[in-house]
Each structure stands twice: as C-alpha cells, then as structure tokens.
Structure 1
C-alpha cells in the first residue's frame, strides 16, 4: 500500500494535540499564570532588588568577613506548582512578614548546600569544607545571618521610599523536595520570583530567590515610581486619570507624601532628607567596593572578535569628549573625565548619578 503524505492541516492538528497532552515541565513563564507585570513594574522590582540586596550583601560581607556580591536581578511571574518543579535539592526558606510600611510577606530561598558554606564561615571555618549535614547550631547561625540580611534590606527600602518599614522576626524552615509539596505562602498560587546571582569571594557562585505575591510586588513597584517618577507611576495605573490625585489606589494613599504643588512641576529628590544612623554607617565604611571605569561600549560580530590580534583597534561607540562612566559593584554612580595623576590614569568626577536619573534612564530605554 502506498503511503499517504499528511497534509499541513493534519500535521498542525497533531502538533497541537501533543502540546496540549504533554505540557512542558520547565514552563514557568507568565503565560502559564495568565498574570503579567508591565515592563516598568519589572524594572522597578529589579531596581529595588539591586538596592535591598546590595544592602543585604554588605551586611553578609561583614558577618562572613568575605567579599559578597548580590546582583543581576531577573523578575519572573509564575506559579507555585511550576516553581516547585524546578526544585531538585533541599532549600532553606526565610519568611519575612511586613508589619509596617508594606503589606504581605517575602520569602528568601537559598540552597542548603550554600547554607552549609555560610554556616561554616559563620562558625569560624574557611568555607572550603562545609559540613555534609547541618545541626541546630549551624542552622541557627545561618538563620541569624539571613535575619540581619533581611533587616538590612528592609532598612534600604525604608530609605528609598522615605517611610518606616518594619518586619517581624523572620521564620526559618527547611524545604525538603522529597517530603514537601507546598511553600509557606499566604497568598494565591500566582507568585513573583526575583532571581539574584550571589557570589561569596571564590567560595560560592550561586542563585538565590525572593518570592513575593503579585499584589506586594505591584505595591513595591508603585511606591518606587511614585516617589521618584510620579508621571511613570500614573501611566502604569489601571485607572484612566490624567492627574495625580491621592485616590489612585491603596498603595498610593499610604505612600509618603511627595511635596509637589503642581502636577507639572519636576519632583526634586533630596537624599539628605533621608535619616541615616551614623553608628550603623560607620560599621560598613571599611568594606571594600569594586570601582570600574567604562570608557565606552561596542558590539562586534563573532567573525570580527575572532579576527582580533595584536595591533587591532576596537572602535568604541563613544566620542573622545564624552564623559566616562564610573561603576561601583557594577552600578552606575557617577560620570567623569580621564586625567593623569603621578603617571597613572585617574578619573575626575564631573557629575553624580542620582536615583531619579537612574529611574528616568530605565523609563526612557524600555
């Protein structure tokens, strides 16, 4: 019997039936939840993650006496079920409840193998030979470190939002992939996960997670845009209002007032108005930070990169008169000019990048 070739319609039908019968296990995207965040909300959460986790990294660095960097936030809307399918090893979960300034809870999730390294450092070890199993003492030591990290993160949020933010004592639990099927959540199945890359000197290069409810994530994003870019916060609001009244939402009503007599006036951010505990500040003044100066950037094809050799010139997408960028731990903080000091290259700072300018840059480049 001659074989009959399938028509394109029949092929499409078969593929469609297969995709419905066998959903992808790795599908943790927003398409699986039906809920999405706007690009501005994701940018705001990433910026807040950089600020709060940067402060948490500073605290952990002091506790461990090691260089700690937490960077590269990546925001994803997913479901608890889809996230748990990616868990293949035990995790420590630190649950933080906001008692003032924000509503809801936040979960910090870290692998138990990484917890063992942190515990070894907390107990005076080198971190190179962490214990295979953790006892109550090691877990308590790590929980204390996580407690101080989350407290530092909450303090950073309070300074950014210019409002008081308090948290209850964190609750620590161990998630065993063999015996547990649920996270200690208090909201619906749809969640927002912010992934961070954490490095501890040369001992750890891992990924940690922060889990929020969609409502809490949107509240945080709205507060950030409202404090620094009221016009951007207005554009992300679901209500079609042209002004910026106080009734734009519960999160907006509870936010710290922005003193702007007219909606058309440019908001002014006063960093000096944020109270800072001088004693706490002195504790971190000796922590080293990596300062990088970027002359310029460019894009080249793989062929051009492979053809590079001694004497090759790479032209940057920057004019000779343009200021260079000064980055601290990968974050743009200032711009300046290249100078020569005692036969060494240096940078003379010409301008400091304010948080408002950083957010305006994000809004303009999305």
Structure 2
C-alpha cells in the first residue's frame, strides 16, 4: 500500500481471498439463459392458462392467471420468503418427461376453493382443511394438473402422462421438508403466477420443477418448433437451372432462378358450353335402410331405459340424503317420460300398470331422421 491507496495487485489479492473464503462463490452457479426463461415462461403461460380455464369451470367463477415469472431458487429460500401454510400437490411424469412437478397454493386459498366446490360462496371458508375439504382441493388441483399435462403434450407434439397427484399440507415456517424432489439448498426452477378468483382470491401460486426437467421442457419445445417451421418438401418442385453466363460481356454473371414449374405456351381453349348448376331441394327425407344389412344385427341386444326425470345436486346435498328424502325432478306430474335405447332418446310415453308391474305406453316416437341423428 502506498499513499493510503491499494494497488491493483493488492485489490486482486483481496478479491481472491474473499472468493476462496466463501463456499457459495466457489460452486458453479446455475443460471438460465434468456431464451430458456422465455421458453419456460411460454410453457407456463399456456399450460396454466388451461389450468385456469379448468378451475373456472369447476368453481363457476372467473379465474385469471397472470404472466409467469421464472427464476432459479432453492427450497430453503422459498421457505424463508413464504413462512405460511401451503397445500402442495406433487405429480410425477410417467411418459414423455422424466421428473416431478409441484404446484404450491396457500392453504387459505385452498380453503376458499374447497368451499366453492362444496356449494358455498367462498366468503366464509372453514378454518382448517378437513379430510372432505382436502379431497375437494385435491380433485380441483388434479384437474388443473391434468389440463397442464394436456397443454404440454400439445405444445411438445408428444404424449405426456402424469401419475395421480399426492396432496400434502406443509407449513413453510415450521416444517423441515417440503418435498423429496430436491435438497433444501439444491437449485430448482420456480415459476410464479398471480391468481385471481373474482373478489375472493388474489394470491400467488408456484410451480416448482428441477433444473433438469426445466431444461428438458425447453428442449422439447425447441424441437417441436423446429419441426413446425421445417418447410414440407414439394414433389412438384423443379430444381433451379444452372447459372447462365452473360454473353454481352466477358464477365460471367450468375442468375438464381426461383423454384417454379416451366410454363408451356398457351393453347387455344376449345369451345365449352357452360350451363347453370341445378340442385335438388333440401327437404328432410327418410333414412334408407337396407333389409339385407339390418338382418345382420337383428339379434344384437339393446338396453331400453325409461327415464322419469333428472336433476342436479351439490355434493353436500347428496351427502345429506337419507331414507325418506324427496328428490324433485325436472318434469311435471303427468308429463311424458323419455324412452332411451342404449342411452339415446327414441320415443316418449306414459307409465302404466300391467298385472302389478310397471310398463310404459309409447305415445310419441321420433322420426327415422331424428333417431339416426341421436344415434350419431
């Protein structure tokens, strides 16, 4: 040191000493390139968009998920940043990919989703996740992960299968382990989404995958994009002619002709009589039936069902049923019942009693065209 200033050699020595004393700096840092982050963001955006649509159908509410944020993290860092109870759904890829996918949702959000699935309005969810509510949440997230796998399969243009999910309640503040997917200090890829369910939920959900699975996803997406962008070979294409030398000068000039078929000199077209097209009127007609063909299936048994009516019930209403309960159907008293053959409507009738047995008298039968339409 001279004049109170450090020389460049001294600065380098200090930096080397600091880096050697820090074990974290000596290890190779796992990073994602900009291309990999964009690819994972696109995968997450499309797949979780399908999951949001599925969840919206299940809840009967508008579900929106924002653009994902992709980052490298560790389970220890996640536990420190989010010291809250979470519901963790873990699925394993069984075909197309190798690894594990984890979806983590706050327990409070899971309780609201469970309350909506059980017929509540979500404004007063239970305080703890009972076995029944846990099953409802697991089913919802199972449907979401299934939709995610379907979207990934479409993007990668290959079959992607997942195992049945396992649901676990994990308190990030106190529980020592979240999953066996990776060690606490091992780098993983975290894809975060902001999820909104109308005015009930405004929170964050996380998708966690190992770095190897993330890079495999990127590779599959790139391969699918390259296959889609590869131009199909045209059998009618004609090779480009050889370069033509310019004859006006002594220098050779090449000309690259585009791929196109050679045009022949036009020939005089013969006289053609053109008449307006005539079409038969579009009137419903009977479906032709061949006796020869129908005789081949005359002995095939069919199941005939008479349906008195239908109704829709919530899960909690089904669980409340007991002996003596009355279920109101969607038909009025005296209204004709539906006659189904193999689950397809073919006629309507009225219930009669024949020798102490119930029967049905056919009062209205569908036309052959309507029956054929129903059977398709």
SS of alignment partner, residue 66 of structure 2: strand
| 2:198 corresponds to 1:195 | no
CA RMSD of aligned residues (A): 3.5
What's the secondary structure of 1:97's corresponding residue? strand
Q: Could you give the per-residue CA deviations for residues 36-67 of structure 1, whole angstroms, max 9, x where no partner exists?
A: 01111110110011110000000000000000
Give the alignment partner of residue 222 of structure 1, picking from 196, 219, 223: 219
Task: Work out whether 1:36 is the aligned partner of 2:31.
Answer: yes
2:104 alignment counterpart: 109
- Render the CA deviation track for 1:262-308: whole Å, top value 9, x for unaligned: 9xxxxxxxxxxxxxxxxxxxxxxxxxxxxxxxxxxxxxxxxxxxxxx
The residue that corresponds to 2:131 in the other structure is: 136
Larger radius of gyration: 2
Q: Which residue of 2 aligns with 1:304?
A: none
Q: Provide the rounded CA distance (Å) in 1 between the counterparts of 2:32 and 2:233.
A: 31
Structure 1 Cα separation of the partners of residues 46 and 114 of structure 2? 25
Instruction: Summarize the Cα distance change of 1:53–1:8 in structure 2 as closer, same or farther, 3 Å threshold.
Output: farther
* CA distance in 1 between partners of 2:64 and 2:29 (Å): 34
Q: Could you tell me how far apart the structure 2 residues matched to 1:214 and 1:38 are? A: 12
Aligned to 2:68, what secondary structure does the other structure show?
Answer: strand
Displacement of 1:130 after TM fit? 1.3
In structure 2, relative to structure 1, the CA distance for the partners of 1:41 and 1:86 (3 Å cut) is same
Q: Which runs of 5+ in 2 are unaligned?
A: 235-376
Q: Is the 8 A contact 1:99 1:168 kept in 2?
A: yes
Give the number of aligned pairs: 225
- Checking the alignment, whether the CA contact within 8 Å between 1:75 and 1:192 is kept in structure 2 is yes
Q: Summarize deviations over 1:13-55 as a string: whole Å, max 9, x none.
A: 9xx9xx99xx9xxx9xx99971001111110110011110000
Is 1:97 matched with 2:88? no
Q: 1:214 to 1:65 in 2, by over 3 A?
A: same
Please say if 1:84 is aligned against 2:51: no
Matches of 2:227 and 2:64, distance apart in 1: 31
Consecutive unaligned residues in structure 1, runs of 5 or more: 1-6, 233-257, 263-366
Q: Is residue 2:149 matched to residue 1:154?
A: yes
How far did residue 223 of structure 1 move? 1.1
Question: RCO greater where, 1 or 2, for CA within 8 Å and sep 6 or more?
Answer: 1
- Structure-2 separation of matches of 1:105 and 1:136: 25
Partner of 2:169: 174
| TM value normalised by structure 1 | 0.55
Residues 51-90 of structure 1 aligned to structure 2 (within 5 Å): 51-90=46-85
Deviations 1:205-236 (A, max 9, x none): 1110000000100111111122114799xxxx
User: Which residue number corresponds to residue 203 of structure 2?
Assistant: 206
